Chains A and B, each alone.
Chain A
Amino acid sequence: MFTSLNARALAVSFCIFVAFLLAWHLATQAAVPVQKMDPEYAKLMGLTATKGTSAMPGPLDVAAKIWEHLKSPFYDRGPNDKGIGIQLAYSIARVMAGYLIAVMVALPLGFLIGMSPMMSKALDPFIQIMKPVSPLAWMPLALYTIKDSSISSIFVIFICSVWPMLINTAFGVASVRKEWINVARTLEVRPLRKAFTIILPAAAPTIFTGMRISIGIAWLVIVAAEMLVGGTGIGYFVWNEWNNLSISNVIVSILVIGVVGMILDQILAFFARKVTYPE
């Protein structure tokens, strides 16, 4: 079995990981030469200045930090110091809120655009202009009009995840095979039934691809949005630790953000596989 493709890929993955850790460990070991200073002065200085310790944490420091967070992910020591689990929960809740609103808007609208070539042409310029706008560019406008930072970040999530879903839904609906539509027409299927029993299942794989792209973008954006507005969430956590120049915590959050993003993506990938059909 050792020769199977998966096993070999796994072995290579493992080797890359170990090599990376080793290189990282060695790179952060190198001590910068330091001048001698009197002990009273040294007491007032950080380790970087006194012992020449690299400001970059090594893999062992990061592992220790991860363990520390895993031990108590849900502690709550006041409004500005909550466990990483609570911060993640805040972020995921915001992403879900914005994302669900986007689904509710994008799917019906996408259907409309996909089924009517006229609407598609009419709305196209707006979509094309709004789509490339960085969601964070909406932030000041949102803060100014909505007057609530938490809802503003939900709005930003909404605005960034709506476009891929909208475009994919429209595309999926528009490219349902003509034969199927024609069969439906011959059988005199009513429009609503046609939409739900023929077009929706046919367009579902494309729609889910759009939703998968959207959740990825939403997760990318929430971190940046929370860094901007602060308060709670994993983005705020990164910012707060950056404030303390605690690089190991920043690395931990990068890992956590990556893992959560992957899980969100895999959930949608799972649904996408469920609705795929062989032609």
Chain B
Amino acid sequence: MTMFGNPFNRNVKLGRGCPCGLHASQDEHARSFRAEATQAAGNSVESNYQRIVEASVMRAMFPQDAQRRAFLSAVGASTAAAAISTFFPIGTATEVFAQAGKLEKPDLKVGFIPITCATPIIMAEPMGFYKKHGLNVEVNKAAGWAVIRDKTLNKEYDAAHMLSPMPLAITLGIGSNPIPYTMPAVENINGQAITLAMKHKDRRDPKQWKGMKFAVPFDYSMHNYLLRYYLAEAGIDPDKDVQIRSVPPPDMVANLRADNIDGFLAPDPVNQRAVYDGVGFIHMLSKEIWDRHPCCAFAASREFVTSAPNTYAALLKAIIEATAYASKQENRKEIAAAISPANYLNQPLTVVEQVLTGTFADGLGGIQRVPDRVDFDPFPYESFAVWILTQMKRWGQIKGDIDYKNVARQVFLATDTTKLMKEMGMTAPASTSKTFVVMGKTFDPDQADAYVKSFAIRRDN
């Protein structure tokens, strides 16, 4: 940690060959700075900046390093620090430095799909969370999941809103070339629903759903896995007894109206929009399948994470902060107003409000009050990833053996999130993994293979 060495320690040398004085040339300095900054990104960023600022001040006061060391041994480090900070505002200088100098790439493009899952990513722009962390982020609406994937792989977007199975699929090279991808934060939990066409309002038991056509937003989505899980639990084989297609969310309501599909498990506001337009009704919320399940995620390539660590940390902080803000019920109306305009979701305000506040019309004439219809929790538990991988395996998207835990750890950066959350004074979960219950069945991430084998309807082998 030489770069961030304590200048008030007389045993540390402060030279002038480069800004930090430890390298012969500016070039060498830059190289080692990058390496160290990568490590340092995990540590407290602020304290590092303070060290850098203090070092520069000391260097300016004592051009000869020997003098500084003599001064320090004469008065003692803490006295020196106190004395200097009385006439030089190190605190202010640190802040200025932290805002001006820390970001490798302050102008970023972040892609999103216009659904309420993307709430933290979207609202961080109009509500100033990115600005607060010194970032100038342009949030760009993308036409579909495949497009957002390709545009992030092409580096048109620096980071993007993805479905949480997508970074896993990209890393494993399912449906695209394998590229190491990371998912440092979940955006929303819950917030999806099964919507059926009005004509099915008397067929509420999934056992009666044979021969129906369903839509999900993407093959590698929680929606696909949850719908398959739900159907299979009712004895319906999702590959043989029904048809499941991938349909972009905006087309879903129109397809439902045109009678091309019988229902969908979709992200909001699509479900509420179907109700709003009198086309369908909400059969059940996804929280009834798996309460507090992850859905969409904030994802970035591993390359971005390592090549621009400070930018990455600032971006992630902005997202975590926005997510925390969104998780508070009392802020939801304000958020709904911020994200409904055409630049973002492009939906009627009441639709977005019903989704976010959880007080909504169910399409059958009733008003339901489910405050946690959608909630926001950034923590990417590794066991979420393991569950997703088990389902990919179960439905034949992954062939052969797989090291569940290893892949989960590489992609879901729970450790990074923990660090940043602590830095921001939030309480991070004690463990990066947790067990949970999906439709009454407990999932143990240590028994992933046995879990896959325990299902009667499955496509692995």
Chain A contacts to B: CB under 8 angstroms? 35, 37-38, 40-41, 43-46, 48-49, 55, 77-81, 143-144, 147-149, 227-231, 236, 239-245
Contact = CB atoms under 8 A, between A and B. Distances in A.
A79 B343 contact: yes
Contacts of A41: 361, 365-367
Given A44-B350, A81-B343, A148 B156 contact: yes
Q: By CB atoms of chain B within 10 A, which of A55, A80, A230, A239 has the most?
A: A80
Interface of B: 114, 125, 138-143, 147, 150-151, 153-156, 249-251, 253-254, 257, 273, 275-278, 341-344, 346-348, 350, 354, 360-361, 365-367
A77 B365 contact: no
Contact of B361 (A45, A77, A143, A148): A45
Given A55-B277, A245-B254, A229 B143 contact: yes
Given A41-B361, A245-B253, A79 B138 contact: yes
A14 to B, nearest CB: 34
Nearest to B115: A243
Contacts of B155: 147
A79 B140 contact: yes
A130 B361 CA distance: 53
A243 B361 contact: no
Contact of A44 (B254, B341, B346, B361): B361
B278 A44 contact: no
B141 A48 contact: no
Contacts of B350: 43-44
Nearest to B354: A44
Contacts of B150: 143-144, 149
A239 B361 contact: no
B114 A243 contact: yes
B156 A149 contact: yes
Q: By CB atoms of chain B within 10 A, which of A44, A46, A240 has the most?
A: A44
B367 A240 contact: no
A227 B154 CA distance: 18
A45 B347 contact: no
B143 A228 contact: yes
B367 A40 contact: yes
Contacts of B361: 41, 44-45
8 contacts: A45-B361, A46-B277, A48-B278, A80-B141, A147-B153, A241-B346, A242-B254, A243-B250
B342 A228 contact: no
A213 to B, nearest CB: 28
A243 B277 contact: no
Given A79-B140, A243-B249, 19 more contacts: A38-B365, A41-B367, A45-B361, A49-B278, A79-B138, A79-B139, A79-B343, A80-B140, A144-B150, A147-B153, A149-B151, A227-B143, A230-B140, A230-B141, A230-B147, A231-B140, A239-B250, A244-B346, A245-B277
Q: By CB atoms of chain B within 10 A, which of A45, A55, A148, A241 has the most?
A: A45
Contacts of A243: 114, 249-250, 346
Contact of A81 (B143, B154, B249, B342): B342
For the complex of A and B, list the 3 residue pairs with the smallest distance between their C-beta atoms, beginning with the closest. A49-B278, A81-B343, A230-B143
A149 B154 contact: yes
Contacts of A229: 143, 147, 151
Nearest to B151: A149
Q: By CB atoms of chain B within 10 A, which of A48, A230, A240 has the most?
A: A230
Given A44-B367, A143-B154, A80 B343 contact: yes
Q: By CB atoms of chain A within 10 A, which of B156, B273, B346, B367 has the most?
A: B346
A104 B155 CA distance: 30
A81 B341 contact: yes
A40 B367 CA distance: 8
A77 B140 contact: no
Given A143-B154, A147-B154, A230-B141, A77 B343 contact: yes
